[in-house]
Structure 1
């Protein structure tokens, strides 16, 4: 089983905190870091847009990804939220074990 880091941008700190707390309390994520001050440039509905956002880095077990996506989509105000999972190919074994332990509903 591998650990994932899921990237998700939010429109502001309030939304980011709400999603982070919900994921950790539901044991869908072991840790969610909030990185403010992200400036995003993207194409949307035929225009180039710019936005100040907060980036969430959601640490979870790979078998919890679908549930993380469902939870974020239910809480997120964007029509199409950024949800991109990146596999953690390595790391401190004890930390990776902690991610798995904390991402379990039955723990």
Structure 2
């Protein structure tokens, strides 16, 4: 596969604590829905919710997966998430290091031992 023809995707979400970010990451990697999750935080999020502007500290998760697993990852992420309306953004990967992209696909093939 050439780097220009990748099926890799990055899924972004946020959560309200480092512990919750760790828990979600482990669930999704253990289920082979994500090959890797990087956690950044805290980050400051500014948003409008229920008619009022809010500023909150959150932790951002960058989940690496394959296009074939995006729907299953999204469904599991939403089911496991503590937010009523979690952020779930799916970003295409337009290129990258071929062996890494192949690893992402390989790690997200199949199903988990303990779903």
Q: TM-score, length-normalised on structure 2?
A: 0.89
1:28–1:105 Cα contact (<8 Å) kept:
no
State which structure, 1 or 2, has the greater radius of gyration over its C-alpha atoms. Answer: 2
RMSD: 1.3
Distance 2:99 2:67 in 1: 17
1:29 to 34, 38, 51: 34
Report if the CA contact (8 A) 2:37-2:61 is conserved: yes
Structure-1-length-normalised TM-score: 0.96
- Structure 1 residue runs without a partner (length 5+): none
Match of 1:55 among 57, 60, 67: 60
Gap runs ≥5 in structure 2: 1-5
How many residues matched?
107
Listed as ranges, the matches of 1:1-107 within 5 Å are 2-105=7-110
